[in-house]
Chain A
Amino acid sequence: MGDQQKGADYTKTNKYVLSRRLDRVFFELYRIYTFITRFFKEVFMPPYEFKEIINQFYEVGARSLPLISLTGFIIGIVFTNQSRPSLSEFGATAWLPSLMSIAIVRALAPLVTAIIAAGRVGSNIGAELGSMKVTEQIDAMEVSATNPFKFLVVTRVLATTLMIPSLMMYTVFVALLGSYVNVNQHEQTSFVTFFVQVFDAISFLDVFSSVIKSFIFGFTIGMVGCYKGYHSSKGTEGVGKAANSSVVTAMFLIFIEELLSLQVINAIRAL
């Protein structure tokens, strides 16, 4: 009885609570590490789920187009409109196409596409896999000798990694189109003149770095959504949490990655 009392007291000490929390943190880190390494191991191993990959390409890519089109176009209009007063103070409104080109290609398009995808696709993946987990659908795949990781995770992460750069390029196009509409209205600049200025202002490094960034953002969105969904628990509450934390975590990581990639790209530019 005395020993039991002593044991019960020990579980309330700060040292014990701290060690249990640290345990959990390290366990979570280990689980994330094994999840990511498993992806790289399984992505190259046959059999390949081509049909499901195409299906996910459609889900991530084609079904995001309406939202991306609207957001990209409006961003192009709004940013151009908001930038005009500052430039007109210096009589430099002719630089609007160049300014918008740099802003959209270097930062806005990759970031906006990633954030929209994190909200639309990331939450969808988190909720879908989460509900499959709590209703034992993932277990059902496993007991029927099908690799659920390959079917559910590999296909979705591949789809987000490959489709988000394509969506980013599309965002660049519609945002510049929105910008052109605004510039054409106010400065009566022609389509050709606008786009000549746009392409003059950007370099290969601008486009290349944005594409690479989008690959990383896409991988992050897919991985986070799948990880959160695949490890969700506690019934429907867990599904909601998985969907929510897929978005929050992915956005947090996207901003961190944006910051880091900015430093790297600036360092390359300075060479």
Chain B
Amino acid sequence: MKHANSKIDYNDKVISIRDLKKAFDDYEVLRGVDLDLYRGENLVVLGRSGTGKSVLIKIISGLLKQDEGQVNVLGQNVNNLSARDLDKLRLKIGFSFQNSALYDSMTVQENLEFPLVRNSRDLSRKEIDRLVDMVLDAVGLSQTKDQMPSELSGGQRKRIGIARTLILKPDIMLYDEPTAGLDPITCIEINNLINEVQQRYNTSSIIITHDLTCARATGDRIVMLLDGQFQRQGTFEEVFNTDDERVKSFYNYNFID
């Protein structure tokens, strides 16, 4: 279980969402979601598949547009931003995709360089190499620099995906199912890495998952998405200390204590 985090600043909201609604055709995925993420906090969003967890972080990063509601990230309304301002904001948001989304045709080094050289064009070769080495070291994969993504294991791909976001030194990390499809040992390693990133880079994170071990290990606060709205929130114990059958069944089917 995660130890209490004293670095959280409850006076500083890095993400603030109000009455967020999103539908795909006739299916309403998010039905009025309210959410605050505080500086330094790891917030876990739990929920079953197809409940709109990934949609939520895609809206936060500007990949999807909401139908209604307000999304403020680092004090800026995501919807009102021009393309250039949205790109500037995105430099402060790291997005770790469920399938890592590494560029297949590039080596690990090229994958890591990709966002860096395009957003800091005045960097020297030496400086780029130094930053690449630094993030590879942070995720413990210095030896994979010249490998292709297809040569990496699932856990290594996840780590490189996280390293690629860290290279831009983001304020906020968004993790989409960070432990999905991994073996239990690798899951623990990824959970530890998420906590290390929080400590080392002082990030605030939203972790989307349906893995309760991950939620318990990484979350300072947990919210549960049910029927398109956040129904429960608090610490792991507070969320699952309930008579709500939907929450209890989620616990029983997913977690062996």
| Interface pairs (21), CB distance under 8 Å | A128-B105, A132-B104, A135-B99, A136-B97, A137-B103, A139-B97, A139-B101, A142-B90, A143-B62, A143-B63, A144-B115, A144-B118, A145-B87, A145-B88, A145-B90, A145-B115, A145-B119, A145-B168, A146-B114, A146-B115, A146-B119
- From 79 to 100 in chain B, residues with beta carbon under 8 angstroms from any chain A beta carbon are 87-88, 90-91, 93, 95, 97-99
The residues of A with any CB-CB pair to B shorter than 8 Å are 47, 128, 131-132, 135-137, 139-146
Query: How far is B118's CA from A47's CA once the two chains are assembled, in angstroms?
Result: 9
The residues of B with any CB-CB pair to A shorter than 8 Å are 58, 61-63, 87-88, 90-91, 93, 95, 97-99, 101-105, 114-115, 118-119, 121, 164-165, 168
A142 & B118 in contact (Cβ 8 Å cutoff) = no
Contacts of A141 in B (CB 8 A): 114
Contacts of A131 in B (CB 8 A): 104
- Chain A residue nearest to B106 (CB atoms) is A137
B91 & A145 in contact (Cβ 8 Å cutoff) = yes
B99 & A136 in contact (Cβ 8 Å cutoff) = yes
A143 & B99 in contact (Cβ 8 Å cutoff) = no
Query: How far is B58's CA from A140's CA once the two chains are assembled, in angstroms?
Result: 11
- Known A-B contacts A131-B104, A145-B88, A145-B90; A140 and B95 likewise in contact (beta carbons under 8 Å): yes
- Known A-B contacts A135-B99, A136-B101, A137-B101; A144 and B164 likewise in contact (beta carbons under 8 Å): yes
- Chain A residue nearest to B95 (CB atoms) is A143
- Chain A residue nearest to B88 (CB atoms) is A145
Query: How far is B63's CA from A136's CA once the two chains are assembled, in angstroms?
Result: 11
A143 & B104 in contact (Cβ 8 Å cutoff) = no
A135 & B101 in contact (Cβ 8 Å cutoff) = yes
Beyond A139-B63, A140-B97, 15 extra complex contacts between A and B, CB < 8 Å? A47-B121, A132-B103, A135-B104, A137-B101, A137-B104, A139-B95, A139-B101, A140-B95, A140-B164, A143-B95, A144-B90, A144-B115, A144-B168, A145-B87, A145-B168
Query: How far is B122's CA from A47's CA once the two chains are assembled, in angstroms?
Result: 13
Q: How far does the Cβ of A244 sit from chain B's closest Cβ, in whole Å?
A: 20
- Known A-B contacts A47-B121, A137-B103; A144 and B88 likewise in contact (beta carbons under 8 Å): no
- Chain A residue nearest to B84 (CB atoms) is A145
Query: How far is B23's CA from A19's CA once the two chains are assembled, in angstroms?
Result: 21
8 Å CB contact of B118 from A132, A139, A145: A145
